């Protein structure tokens, strides 16, 4: 399929760009951060590991940039992201691998909940546009989506966790109950994920509501909606199958932009809740100036976001016959 | 011939704008079994509003409505929502203005037809629906395999035919067509209109055809209503209107469009442009543009009076000199 | 993080409906639109607050006192921090760097968006292809993690570095919207006519394009300010900004550092957050009113709009 192929090529280029960016950043930064890092680590880690770090950042190497770039790509192709300094001598890929699942679980689920719920609410308020619900929803949605994620996280943590004591204050599971596929353990996981997920959903929800509403309202004015009414279709059919299905398409196109912001917000939320995902790891790597880990995380997060976008594009292709069948 | 659709003293005012817009003013008309009735008028004179009001498509939140709409003797204005919904398309259907854009862009032709039919034929078997879809599409000369296509894959003319097929799918008694061929080139327009005429004969439904093309209406319709600024200003059998149209506006309209067949006449437009419905001039709304206006026209609004048994005109030039409020238009035909 | 949904995430090639006559009527409509007015009043209110900081809260907001972690009192309206600083005074003074960085970064980002979006679309050809490619790519590469990495390398980004980092990651959103608007305008008659009469490129851009894009540019500028403030506050909260200036972000950083909530010092956390949300919300309101003026249907007032909504008229 032409559409799928084109999107795939686009995301491959985007991924390649982020890989290259990842390669260039440490080499372009002022004050040669990598060399400083080497100095700091000298004597603390084995000469062998030091060599590995050198290779990774191209410090003290006299190979030109092109050769370094090639080596970097080769290493990457082998899944070699270097060695973490914070968790020395564990490999960056291993460290990331342990956190990835938490982020996917938390931010992924929260994003889907928020998208589905927000889209549905957007449809609903657009349909009931002349009611007080609509007049109430719009400003509230605008206000809540202006909250900084981490701030709302702090408030939620304080009120629901600290003052009321209804939820745990940090982490992803109880120390006494290591994650497993048992009912009590799953309940415990959900219990820990509730507050961070709530934060992400509350802040990101408003955006979905507003954008769906804004797409839905012009769509209600379309000739085919008027015809569907004249034809005596049931209101629910008109609302969902005619108006919303059409209005959803531009909303999916906006997904790419929104996702970046939600992931960013999720990262900050994880930090506040010490939730052991990529965001919290990124924070640790940043505080410890663990450059290899930092870079690996940036690459991983970019990759995950690109993959999610690609999935959404595929969905779009399925929902819009014009994308799938025409040359667009 | 029995009367199927009867509109009585219908007035519609848009309340969603300031000033409010009286888009339809005291309009009465009737459509009989197997009849084609034409409604003519320039853009903005309230034709679509009238149609939408007849079909009960204008929500209370944006209009104030008065008068009655009777379909087979049943008053649509007092019907509850669900009964009205059930009656739609089974009894009265619509080919909307810009029918080309009236198809849902992300559904196949078949799915759109199927959804409409399912909404009314609750007990139908899938086979029946498919058979009816194929049959109806073939009636409008669309090959069966095209039903799997999306609207954007069809030409304008084909989309138009699909819109007509949609309207005919449940074989309604009345089909309302709001300028069903705008946006198509003349040859395609003509082909489609001839087809409508053929289908009308074949299936025997009544048509309410809206157009600003007077000559076309005269050719197709048995009865023509001429609208100006929200009012009917002349009505009668199309032959009478064509030969002996009384109102200066009607004659202007006829002159505007040379008939499709017969002698070519010079096109003389009506000077000026239609009034703003929000700010109608006093008296006869047409007087500022009327070449024959007399003093009375500027302050008295003419009523619709019969000049012959089925031919009514609202024009001071053709009404006896009596106070207009005593004259009650009576063009209810036997 | 703020979500600039209100910046109308236009998809590609979409002709935006906001091409408006360049008349004073637009501005009149703007004042009449209540949404916009409320937004402007709130936003201007904060600007005034920042400007008048020395009058409203005289003295150095960083001054350390003995009254640590005091809840709101008659003297300390919003209580004090763990170092005994007045939260009220910090919030007022914190307006300044927050808004200044937001403004400058917003302006710089918008300028980049205009150059890349309008420039690319106007010139067309390979230049446009490359520009479009880059904006599309940078939209899908998440900005905040990138910022965190960059700021870490820079060892606490100062004001200038912060502005540069924000602008470097924020331009593609605006570029994309402005590009599609330029494409739509370029096809318009009056632009074509100006080209035929041999007006210079810059002349056309200045006289024909910009006046028609001004509302879009303003909307974009406002959402970029939201984005910039959000990014700035986040970086500062993580301790990656200059933590020694008093700003809303650094207040939250110190509050976090001193575990303000664990001590129940809600008064330290809530005010800066509310201020951020108010500024962001105000900008969103203004943006929304710009949307609404261009597209009156979106207004959520009863009995408005030209929609044929609802069922039967009975
Ligand atoms: N929702 C609405 N609110 C207010 N005024 C309206 C609304 N819809 C239509 N109008 C006004 O009502 C008048 C009649 O419109 P209508 O669409 O019925 O005209 P028309 O005869 O069908 O014209 P055309 O030939 O262009 O389709 C116009 O002046 C129009 O501006
Ligand atoms: Mg019309």
pLDDT per residue as tens digits for the range A77-112 = 888 888 887 887 788 889 999 999 999 999 999 999
pLDDT of residue B14: 93
pLDDT of res. A49: 67
- For residue B52, give the nearest of C308, C310, C311 by CB distance: C308
Atom of ligand 1 nearest to the CA of B17: 4
Determine whether the interchain pair C137/A286 forms a contact, defined as Cβ–Cβ distance below 8 Å.
no
Which residues, chain by chain, have CB under 5 Å from ion ligand 2? B 48, 97
Q: Among A51-60, B23-32, B159-168, C46-55, which is the least confidently predicted range?
A: A51-60
Q: C5 pLDDT band (50/70/90 cuts)?
A: very low
Sheet architecture: strand order including B3-14: B21-32, B3-14, B63-71, B74-75
Q: Please say whether the structural domain C33-60+71-295 has been given the CATH code 3.40.50.1370.
A: no
B209 beta partners: B38, B177
Taking the C-alpha atoms of residue C176 and residue C114, their distance in angstroms, rounded to an integer, is: 9
With tokens 């629910």, the residue in question is A236
Confidence of residue C14 (pLDDT cuts 50, 70, 90): very low
How confident is the model at residue C10, as a pLDDT?
Answer: 31
Instruction: Sort out which chain B residues have CB atoms less than 8 A from C302's CB and list them.
Output: 61
Tens of pLDDT, residues B113-167: 999 999 998 887 888 899 999 999 998 889 988 999 999 999 888 898 899 999 9
Could you read off the pLDDT of C19-28 as tens digits, one per residue? 334 445 566 6
Q: In the prediction, which pLDDT does B257 show?
A: 63
CB atoms B84 and C312 under 8 Å: yes
pLDDT at C260: 81
Instruction: Read off the tokens for C257.
Output: 């550092």
B40-44, B289-293, C20-24, C54-58: which range is least confident on average? Answer: C20-24
Strands B231-237 and B223-228 turn out to be antiparallel
Check whether C6 has a pLDDT greater than 50. Answer: no
What number of other Cβ atoms are within 10 A of residue B126's Cβ? 9
* A130 against B109, higher pLDDT: B109
User: Which residue matches tokens 């459509």?
Assistant: B31
Tell me the three-class secondary structure of A200-252, residue by residue.
Answer: HHHHHHHHHHHHHHHHHHHHHCCHHHHHHHHCCCCHHHHHHHHHHHHHHHHHH
Q: Within an 8 Å CB–CB cutoff, is residue C5 touching chain A?
A: yes
Judged by average pLDDT, the poorest of A252-261, B218-227, C100-109, C294-303 is C294-303
Determine the distance in angstroms separating the CA of C181 from the nearest CA of chain B, rounded to an integer: 24
Task: Determine the residue among B55, B100, B101, B115 to mutate to test chain A binding: the one whose Cβ has the most chain A Cβ atoms within 10 Å.
Answer: B115
| ipTM rounded to 2 decimals | 0.86
List the domains of chain B with CATH numbers.
3-91+172-274 (3.40.50.300), 105-170 (no CATH)
Mark yes or no for CB contact B102/A232 under 8 Å: no
The Cα-based distances of C151 to A283, C2, C78, C161, C255 in angstroms read: 12, 19, 32, 8, 21
Contacts of C231 (CB under 8 A, 6+ apart): C1, C105, C143, C144, C147, C165, C166, C169, C170
Sign of the four-CA dihedral B101, B105, B109, B114: negative
Instruction: Give phi and psi for B10, each to the nearest 5.
Output: -85, 130
What fold is seen in the domain A101-287? MetI-like fold (1.10.3720)
**pLDDT, average across residues C14-22:** 38
Token code pair at residue B186: 């003349």
pLDDT score for C120: 84
Q: Which of A315-324, B175-184, B195-204, C286-295 has the highest mean pLDDT?
A: B195-204
Around ligand 1, the residues with Cβ closer than 6 Å are B 14, 16-17, 21, 23, 41, 43-49, 62, 97, 212, 277; C 306
Instruction: Find where tokens 């910022």 sit.
Output: C147
Distance in angstroms (rounded) separating the CA atoms of residues C65 and C59: 13
Mean pLDDT of chain B, nearest integer? 86
Give me the helix-helix angle, A291-319 and A245-253, nearest 10°: 150
Chain B residues with CB under 8 Å of A242 CB are: 104
| pTM of this structure | 0.83
Q: How many angstroms is it from B277 CA to the middle of ligand 2?
A: 14
Mean pLDDT value of segment C100-114: 93
Of the ligands numbered here, which is closest to the C-alpha atom of B212? 1
- The arithmetic mean of pLDDT across residues B35-58, rounded, is 92
Contact at 8 Å (CB) between B68 and B9?
yes
Pairing of strands B92-95, B311-313: unpaired
Q: What is the pLDDT of residue B135?
A: 92
- Beta carbons of C306 and C289 less than 8 angstroms apart: no
Tell me what pLDDT residue C1 has: 37
* CA of B51 relative to ligand 2 center, distance in Å: 9
| pLDDT score for B85 | 92
Residue C22's pLDDT is 44
Please, what is the average pLDDT of chain A? 85
Rounded CA-CA distance C48/A37 in Å is 45
CB contact under 8 A, C303 and B16: yes
Coil, strand or helix at C267: helix
Chain-chain contact of A264 with C252 (C-beta, under 8 angstroms): no
Task: Report whether pLDDT(C48) > 90.
Answer: yes
Instruction: Report the C-alpha gap between C275 and C259 in whole angstroms.
Output: 20
Residue among C4, C140, C304 whose CB faces A256 most closely: C140
Q: How do residues A112-127 score in pLDDT, each as one tens digit?
A: 999 999 999 999 999 9
pLDDT tens for B312-328 read 999 888 876 655 444 44
Give the residue whose CA is nearest to atom 9 of ligand 1: B49
In chain A, what are the domain boundaries? 101-287
Q: Which atom of ligand 1 sits closest to the CA of residue B49?
A: 18
pLDDT value of residue A41? 67
* Direct distance between the N- and C-terminal alpha carbons of chain C, in angstroms, rounded to an integer: 48
Going by C-alpha positions, the residue among C204, C243, C282, C298 that lies closest to residue C36 is C282
Q: Is the pLDDT of residue B244 over 90?
A: no
Distance CA B16, CA B24 (A): 15
Tell me what pLDDT residue C314 has. Answer: 30
Q: Do the Cβ atoms of B101 and A223 come within 8 Å? A: yes
Measure the CA–CA gap between B262 and B3, rounded to whole angstroms: 32
Q: What is the rounded CA–CA span in Å between residue B97 and residue B109?
A: 19
Does residue B145 contact residue B138 with C-beta atoms inside 8 Å? no
Question: Any chain A CB within 8 A of the CB of B149?
Answer: no
Pick from A265-279, B180-194, C181-195 the range whose average pLDDT is largest. Answer: A265-279
Interface check C259 vs A, CB under 8 A: no
Place of tokens 């609302």: A239
Of B104, B34, A127, nearest in space to C311 by CA: A127
Distance of CA C11 to the CA centre of its chain: 20
Which residue shows structure tokens 């209810």? B332
Neighbours of chain C (3+ CB pairs under 8 A): A, B
Cα B99 to middle of ligand 2, angstroms: 11
Q: Which pLDDT belongs to residue C29?
A: 67
Mutation choice for C interface testing from B59, B81, B119 by most C CBs within 10 A: B59
Tens-digit pLDDT profile for residues A145-202: 888 888 899 889 888 988 888 988 888 788 777 777 788 888 888 888 899 999 999 9
pLDDT digits (tens, 9 = 90+) for C209-268: 777 788 888 888 998 999 899 988 998 888 888 888 888 988 989 888 888 888 888 888
Instruction: For residues A309 and C4, give the distance between their C-alpha atoms in angstroms, rounded to a whole number.
Output: 18
8 Å CB contact between B49 and C308: no
- What percent of chain A is predicted at pLDDT more than 70? 89
Per residue in C129-183, pLDDT tens?
888 888 888 888 888 888 888 888 887 778 888 898 889 888 988 888 888 888 8
Higher pLDDT pick, B230 / A58: B230
């Amino acid at each position: 399929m032409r559409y799928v192929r084109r999107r795939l090529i686009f995301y491959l280029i985007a991924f390649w760009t982020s890989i290259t960016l990842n390669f260039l950043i440490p080499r372009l930064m002022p004050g040669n951060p990598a060399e400083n890092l080497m100095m700091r680590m000298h004597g603390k880690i084995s000469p062998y590991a030091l060599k590995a770090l050198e290779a990774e950042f191209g410090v003290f190497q006299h190979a030109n940039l092109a050769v370094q770039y090639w080596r970097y790509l080769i290493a990457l192709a082998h899944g070699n992201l270097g060695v973490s300094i914070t968790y020395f001598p564990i490999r960056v890929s291993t460290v990331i691998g342990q956190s990835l699942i938490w982020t996917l679980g938390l931010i992924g689920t929260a994003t889907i909940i928020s998208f589905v719920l927000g889209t549905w609410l957007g449809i609903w308020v657009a349909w009931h546009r002349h009611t007080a619900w609509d007049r109430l929803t719009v400003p509230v949605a605008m206000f809540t989506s202006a909250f900084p994620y981490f701030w709302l996280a702090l408030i939620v943590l304080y009120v629901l966790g600290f003052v009321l004591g209804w939820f745990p204050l940090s982490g992803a599971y109880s120390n006494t109950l290591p994650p497993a596929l048992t009912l009590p353990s799953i309940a415990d996981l959900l219990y820990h994920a509730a507050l961070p997920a709530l934060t992400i959903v509350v802040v990101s929800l408003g955006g979905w509501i507003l954008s769906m509403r804004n797409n839905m309202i012009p769509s209600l004015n379309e000739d085919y909606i008027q015809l569907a009414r004249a034809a005596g279709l049931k209101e629910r059919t008109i609302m969902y199958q005619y108006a919303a299905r059409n209005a959803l398409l531009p909303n999916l196109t906006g997904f790419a932009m929104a996702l970046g912001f939600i992931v960013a917000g999720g990262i900050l939320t994880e930090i506040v809740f010490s939730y052991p995902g990529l965001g919290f790891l990124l924070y640790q790597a940043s505080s410890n100036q663990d450059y290899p880990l930092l870079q690996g995380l940036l690459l991983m997060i970019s990759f995950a976001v690109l993959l999610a976008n690609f999935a959404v594009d595929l969905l779009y292709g399925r929902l819009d016959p014009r994308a799938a069948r025409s040359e667009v | 011939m029995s009367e199927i659709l009867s509109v009585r003293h219908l007035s519609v005012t848009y309340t969603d704008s300031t000033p409010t817009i009286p888009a339809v003013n005291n309009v009465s008309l009737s459509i009989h079994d197997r009849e084609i009735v034409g409604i003519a008028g320039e853009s903005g004179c309230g034709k679509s509003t009238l149609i939408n009001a007849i079909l009960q498509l204008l929500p209370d939140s944006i209009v104030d409505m008065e008068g009655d709409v009777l379909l087979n003797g049943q008053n649509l204005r007092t019907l509850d929502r669900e009964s009205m919904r059930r009656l739609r398309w089974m009894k009265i259907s619509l080919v909307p203005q810009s029918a080309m854009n009236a198809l849902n862009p992300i559904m196949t032709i078949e799915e759109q037809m199927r959804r409409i039919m399912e909404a009314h034929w609750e007990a139908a078997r899938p086979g029946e629906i498919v058979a009816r879809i194929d049959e109806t599409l073939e009636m409008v000369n669309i090959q069966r395999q095209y039903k799997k296509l999306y609207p954007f894959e069809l030409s304008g003319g084909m989309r138009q035919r699909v819109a007509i097929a949609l309207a005919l799918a449940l074989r309604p008694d009345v089909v309302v067509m709001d300028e069903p061929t705008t946006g198509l080139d003349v040859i395609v327009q003509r082909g489609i209109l001839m087809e409508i005429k053929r289908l009308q004969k074949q299936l025997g439904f009544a048509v309410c055809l809206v157009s600003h093309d007077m000559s076309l209406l005269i050719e197709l319709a048995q009865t023509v209503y001429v609208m100006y600024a929200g009012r009917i200003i002349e009505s009668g059998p199309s032959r009478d209107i064509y030969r002996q149209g009384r109102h200066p506006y009607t004659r202007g309209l006829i002159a505007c469009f040379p008939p499709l067949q017969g002698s070519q006449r010079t096109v003389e437009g009506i000077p000026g442009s239609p009034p703003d419905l929000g700010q109608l001039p006093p008296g006869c709304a047409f007087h500022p543009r009327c070449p024959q206006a007399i003093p009375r026209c500027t302050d008295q609004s003419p009523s619709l009076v019969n000049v012959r048994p089925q031919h009514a005109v609202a024009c001071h030039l053709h009404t006896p000199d009596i106070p207009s409020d005593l004259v009650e238009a009576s063009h209810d035909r036997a | 993080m703020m979500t600039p949904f209100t910046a109308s995430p236009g998809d590609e090639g979409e002709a935006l409906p906001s091409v408006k006559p360049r008349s004073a009527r637009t501005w009149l409509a703007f004042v009449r639109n209540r949404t916009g007015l409320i937004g402007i009043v709130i936003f201007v209110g904060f600007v005034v607050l920042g400007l008048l900081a020395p009058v409203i809260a005289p003295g150095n907001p960083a001054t350390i006192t003995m009254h640590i972690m005091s809840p709101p009192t008659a003297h300390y309206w919003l209580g004090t921090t763990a170092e005994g600083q007045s939260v009220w005074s910090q919030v007022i003074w914190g307006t300044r760097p927050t808004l200044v960085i937001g403004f400058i970064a917003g302006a710089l980002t918008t300028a980049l968006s205009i150059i890349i979006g309008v420039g690319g679309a106007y010139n067309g050809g390979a230049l446009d292809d490359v520009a479009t490619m880059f904006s599309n790519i940078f939209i899908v590469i998440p900005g905040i993690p990138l910022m965190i990495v960059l700021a870490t390398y820079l060892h606490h980004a100062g004001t200038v570095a912060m502005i540069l980092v924000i602008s470097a990651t924020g331009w593609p959103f605006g570029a994309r919207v402005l590009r599609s608007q330029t494409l739509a305008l370029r096809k318009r008659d009056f632009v074509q006519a100006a080209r035929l009469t041999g007006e210079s490129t810059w002349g056309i851009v200045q006289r024909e394009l910009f006046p028609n894009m001004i509302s879009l540019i303003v909307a974009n500028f406002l959402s970029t300010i939201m984005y910039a403030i959000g990014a700035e506050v986040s970086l500062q909260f993580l301790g990656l900004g200059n933590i020694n200036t008093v700003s809303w972000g650094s207040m939250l950083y110190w509050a976090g550092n001193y575990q303000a909530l664990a001590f129940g010092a809600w008064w330290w956390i809530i005010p800066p957050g509310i201020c951020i949300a108010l500024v962001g919300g105000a900008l969103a309101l203004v943006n929304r009113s710009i949307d609404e003026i261009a597209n009156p249907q979106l207004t959520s007032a009863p009995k408005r709009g030209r929609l044929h909504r609802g069922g039967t008229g009975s």
